[in-house]
Amino acid sequence: MTDNLTPKQRRKNMQAIRSQSKLENRVSKEIWRRGIRFRKNDRTLFGKPDISIKKYKVVIFIDSCFWHGCEVHGNRPKSNQEYWDKKLKRNRKRDEEVRDYYKVRGWNYKRIWEHEFKENYDKAVGEIEAFIRQAQKTEP
């Protein structure tokens, strides 16, 4: 299936897509409320993590089940399947590259799925808080 938009129209559409979701904003506000200070979407860090604390080498990614290909909840669109398969496969590959980048460099890396917040929001936020607090304790 070919793209019905001109390159200029497609560019305009893609520019309108914001990087932060409502979920990311909600989680960030809650973590901040709990007294943890961090950066959101720090462009100086590889992969632009949703939450990062350089001092403690902490990076956290909050992944959408659709965009990151969740095995449980990531459903594929019925139309233009070849395009979406390629796109979502590349997203998963990039996620692996980002994970490997931080693991090799000794960072505290956490990736948490959107559905974990839907199942039990408080538990998922608590996991993030505990992850950060643990990294703070082990800081050299």
Write the DSSP string, 66-93: TTTT-TTT-PPPSSSHHHHHHHHHHHHH
- Low-confidence spans in the chain with pLDDT less than 50: 1
**For 39, phi and psi rounded to 5 degrees?**
-110, 145
Cα atoms in the 13 Å half-sphere on the side-chain side of 36 = 27
**What pLDDT is stored for residue 70 in this prediction?**
80
| pLDDT, mean over the chain | 88
What is the reported pTM? 0.82
What's the confidence (pLDDT) of residue 19? 58
Q: Which domains does the chain have, with CATH numbers?
A: 18-137 (3.40.960.10)
Instruction: Give the pLDDT confidence score for residue 104 in this predicted structure.
Output: 98
Distance of CA 26 to the CA centre of its chain: 14
Q: Coil, helix or strand for 64?
A: coil
Hunting for tokens 């959408």 — which residue is that? Answer: 64
pLDDT of residue 14: 65
Identify the CA nearest to 26 among candidates 132, 120, 121, 138. 121
Q: What order do you get walking across the sheet with 108-113 strand by strand? A: 39-40, 51-53, 58-63, 108-113
Q: SS3 for 107?
A: coil
Beta strands in the chain (DSSP E): 39-40, 51-53, 58-63, 108-113
- Label the pairing between strands 39-40 and 51-53: antiparallel
DSSP state of 49: -
